[in-house]
Structures are given as structure tokens and as C-alpha cells.
Amino acid sequence: MSRRRALMLTLVLLGLPGPLPAQAGAGRPVVVASKPFGESFLLAEMFAQLLEARGFEVDRRLGLGATEIAFEALRTNAIDAYPEYTGTGLLAILRAQPTADAGEVYRRVAREFRERWGVRWLPPLGFQNTYAIAVRRETATRLELATLSDLARVSGQLQAGLTPDFIGRPDGMPGLQKAYGIRFRAVRALLPAVKYQALAAGEVDVIDGYSTDGFIARYDLMVLRDDRHFFPPYEAAAMVSPGLQRDLPAAVAALTELSGLLTETEMRRLNRLHEVDGQPAPGIAAAALHALGLTGVLPQQTSTGRHRSASEVLPYLWDQRSIILSLTARHMLLVGVSLAAAIAVALPLGLALERRRRAAEAVIRGVGLLQTLPSIALLAFMIPLLGIGVIPALVALFLYSLYPILRNTYTGVRDAAPEAVGAAWALGMTPAQVLRYVRLPLAAPVIMAGIRTAAVINVGTATLAAFIGAGGLGDPIAAGLALSDTRMILSGALPAALLALLVDGVLGWSERLVSPGG
């Protein structure tokens, strides 16, 4: 796939029309995606392997941003299928009021998604994965906690560590507060990757998790019963794009084979293998499909699991070197192409604005506004226009790189040694000569500094490209965060940091190289 993507990229950059969209029928790959957490990875991997076993070609885009990005991609046919939860569809996408009846929720989302977007919910997979409020077993025993009503009684003494998502969603903390009167002494926003450790270490007393979570067993946690049935049903199901239904109905039928086959116990076991024992998702998915009788031959087990502590990072990195190398290459491609394009636009624009100073501030501030857009939001906006993958990532990185280069070019050229510029002008240089021989060389270090800033920001921001399936060093970071796997996070973060240092160093050196006046 990567060669094909590279080809697409080349064609786009050359301004040539890309290959035509794949026609209906054989030959068109099914794009299977997931959201960035363990269970979503596993289910997507099962979808993918099931489709492959039925003879379909599959393109995996695992770990897409969040609900908005994954759904936007599905709606616009950038991806074909991903696992979603009916409750999330109801609350996060339809923004409807929650109801307690699982069948009713499924029927509602199935109908509304079909009518509004032509998106199809396949029959549920068979288990629910609802929010679970968990405490340490020791806390539960000491305070005699079994239900959320019990928790409400003592919540004033407890500190909660909740995912930012949960803090904001109506079916999260705000609703919980209303339904049970729970008011914690303090609420801290914690990412999934750290909240379990924070709970185990006693930094917080209560966290939000998922009922099928593998971590709950790993950390010996106690899930408190939702005795007032506040959380709506979250039945897992495959969601399918309008395009796939039109192009490959047989693939939709193949995915339906999984419906109703996965119990909550089974899913929790699979999640534990993945999240606690550290087994890779493909192996677990293959074994699970085989055990369900959906695939014939069981492929051999390739890995027995991994250690997940930060120790032995170096051997792990060495082990993963070829993957890391190719991710680094992809990362550099993203950074290099977007930065080159930004230079090609911002540099001439900065020079042009220097001649039209009245318009300059307005234009530069406008470009600066782009900088304030949250990157995930920008990526989500672009999906309807550009789909997912390398192209939208390049466009986003390009937009983020414009401002530092434009600002530095403009101010650098504008403020370059005014007395020298005045003299050059008075002695008969043409405006073009003043620009070429005086302003530009004198502004070069400032312009280089802008490029350097843009490049370093770009290396960091490019890790977010993983959330729209563009690959790069963000892939292991996103997956590692989802699986709470420190070494996996480091296998992306360390090379990214090194790359940033390297880029900074090289550009710093070239900054001195262009410094005028010996």
C-alpha cells in the first residue's frame, strides 16, 4: 500500500489526476479502520482477517483519531468499516438523549444513520462495553462500596482521574453528577495511558474505564454497579460505509458473520491477552476467529507477548528497528514535503507582503489563526475534502508550517539593516537588486530561524498524523498510549525527539552558514 500511496502523492504533487477510484467489484480493497484503543484494534483486526479469509483485499487504517474523525471518514467513504458502540452513536454523533433499552438504542441508531448518511450498523457483535467506574479493591472494602450510589455517599472524600472525553460528555461526568449526585473532592484529567497507573499508585481514587477492559483485572480493580442504570447501552457493532454497501455487498455479508458471536466474557479475555499480556492483536484475532469456527487454519503464534515496562527499551527498539526505520522514513516524508511546500508558499508571500505593508499584518494574522486551530479539529475538518491518509496530513502540516516562515520572512526582510537598504537604494540599485543583494541576504538568518521553528513544530505535529491514518512515528505512540505500553510509546517518541533534535541542529548550523558579514 505504501508504494501506492507514494505514487498517489507524487501524482498529486505533480498536479496530475490520480488513479481513478476503484470500481465496484473485485480488486477494490476494503478499508478497515479502528479508533485508538485496544478493543477497537482487536475488533478491527478480526474484521480484517475475516474479510481476508473470504477473499477480500484489506487495507488497515487502525487507530484513527477519535469518534469524530473515524465517523467522518466512514461517512465520506474514506474508510469502509470500523467497530463502534451504539451508545456512542446515539450520544456522541446523534447527540440524542440516552435510553436504557439496548434494543431500542440499536434500532434508533440503525434507522437514523441509514436515513441521514446511508451508513449501516450491522447487527451487534453480542457484547456491551459500557463505561465502568472503578476503584481499588482496597478502597471498595474500606469504604464498603459496591454501587455508584455507595460512591455518591463518600465522593466528597475522593479524587477522580477521568479521561478528558468522559469529563465533557453528557453521558460522562456531568450526567453522573445529575443522576447520582456524585461530586468528587477533585477531578483530574488523565489520559487512558496513565490513569490506571495513577489509580494503582494512589494518586487518584476513582477512574473511568470500560466494562470489558483488560486493565481492570490487571490492576485488581473493583467496578461499581450502575444501580440506577445511568449509562446507556453500548453494544459493539460493525459500522459500514455507504460505498462498501454499494461496491461490495459480499464484504458486508462477510462482516455480518461475526454478529452475535462475541460475549462480554470472551471480549474481556481477548482484551486481557492484548492489554495485560501484551500479545499482538493479529495473533489474538486469528485465534479468536478460529475458535469461533469462522476461519479454517490457525496461523502459527508468532509472539508470546511483550514486557511493557520502560526497562529494556533499547533491546525492544533494536528488535523493532526495521519498523521504526520505515516509520521514520514516512515521518520524514511527511515533514519534508509539507515543509518544502510551506517554504515555497510562505517565502514568496512574505517577500510580496513586504512590498504591500498595509495588507501584510492582516494576511499574516489570518495565517496565524490557522495556528490556533486544534490539530485534531483541523484534521477532522479536512476529511470530507481530502479523506484520510497522507494527503490531509500533508495539508495540515503545511498549514501549520506557514506562519513561522511567513512571519519571519516578512519581519526579517522588512527590518533588515534600514540604513544599508537606504544607501543601496540611493546609490542606484533597482528594487529587485535591493531585495536580492541586500534585504534577502541580511534577512536570511531570520528566515532560516523561521524555517527551523516550523520544522521542529512540524516533526512534533506529524506524530498526530497517525490519527488520520497517515502513518509515521505517531503510529506506535498512538497505539502505545491506547495499550498503556510504555515501550511502544517510546519506540515512536524517542525517534521523533531525536529527529527534532537533528532537524534543529542541521538547520541551526545552516542558519550560521547564511549569516552575513563573516
Partner 1 sequence: MSTAGPALRAENLSKRYGQLLALDHVSLDVNPGESVALIGESGSGKTTLLRCFSRLVEPDEGRVLIEGVNAAEIEPIELRRRIGYVPQEGGLLPHWRVRRNVALVPWLRSMEAPDSLADRALELVGLEPAVYAGRWPRKLSGGERQRVAVARALAASPAVVLLDEPFGALDAITRADLQTTFARIRGELALTSLLVTHDIDEAFLLADRVAVMRRGRVEQVGSPAELRERPATEYVHHLLVRARVIRA
Q: Is 157 in the site for partner 1 (CB under 8 A)?
A: no
Stretch that binds partner 1, among 166-174, 244-252, 403-411, 426-434 (CB under 8 A): 426-434
245 in Cβ contact with 118 (< 8 Å)? yes
Residue pair 64/34 in contact (Cβ under 8 Å)? The answer is yes
In the bound state with partner 1, the residue whose beta carbon lies nearer, of 381 and 425, is 425
Q: Which residue number, 296 or 428, has a Cβ lying nearer to partner 1?
A: 428
Q: Which C-beta is closer to partner 1: that of 435 or that of 503?
A: 435
Show the cell assigned to 263: 460475549
Q: Name the segment binding partner 1 (CB under 8 A); options: 137-145, 214-222, 252-260, 425-433.
A: 425-433
Q: 19 vs 516, which CB is nearer to partner 1?
A: 516
The 10 Å Cβ neighbour count of residue 515 is: 13
Residue with cell 479469509: 53
Position 432 contacts partner 1 (CB under 8 A): no
Residue 7 vs 420, nearer CB to partner 1: 420
**Is 441 one of the binding residues for partner 1 (CB under 8 A)?**
yes
Please count the other Cβ atoms lying within 10 Å of the Cβ belonging to residue 236. 24
Q: In whole angstroms, how close is the CB of 434 to partner 1 at the nearest point? A: 10
Angle separating helix axes 440-461 and 321-355, nearest 10 degrees: 140
Residues 6+ apart with CB under 8 A from 127: 212, 235, 236, 262, 263, 264, 266, 267
C-alpha cell at 190: 488523565
Closest of 265, 416, 290, 401 to residue 344, by C-alpha: 401
Q: Measuring CA to CA, which residue among 452, 475, 449 is closest to residue 462?
A: 475
Closest by CA to 205, choosing from 136, 150, 152, is 136
Please, which of residues 394-423 interact with partner 1 by CB under 8 A?
Answer: 417, 419-420, 422-423
Dist. CA 481–CA 66, nearest whole Å:
13
Give min distance, CB of 508 to partner 1, in A.
19
Binding-site residue total for partner 1 (CB under 8 A)? 20
Which has the closest alpha carbon to 291: 265, 256, 273, 266? Answer: 266
CB 125 within 8 A of CB 270: no
Selected binder of partner 1 within 438, 446, 459, 464 (CB under 8 A):
438
430 binds partner 1, rule: CB under 8 A: yes
CB closer to partner 1 out of 183 and 357: 357
Question: Nearer to partner 1 by C-beta: 97 or 430?
Answer: 430
Site string for partner 1, 489-518 (x = CB under 8 A): ---------------------------xxx
User: To the nearest whole angstrom, how small is the minimum distance from the Cβ of residue 512 to partner 1?
Assistant: 14
- Cα 272 → chain centroid: 23
Q: 9 near 16, Cβ under 8 Å?
A: no
How near is the Cβ of 419 to partner 1 at its closest, in Å?
4
For residues 20 and 427, which CB has a smaller minimum distance to partner 1 in the complex? 427
| Minimum CB distance to partner 1 smaller for 174 or for 422 | 422
* 449 lies in the binding site for partner 1 (CB under 8 A): no
- The residue from 433, 501, 502, 513 that contacts partner 1 (CB under 8 A) is 433
CA 316 – CA 495 distance, rounded (Å): 13
Among 96, 313, 424, 507, binds partner 1 (CB under 8 A): 424
Catalog residues that contact partner 1 under the rule CB under 8 A.
417, 419-420, 422-430, 433, 437-438, 441-442, 516-518
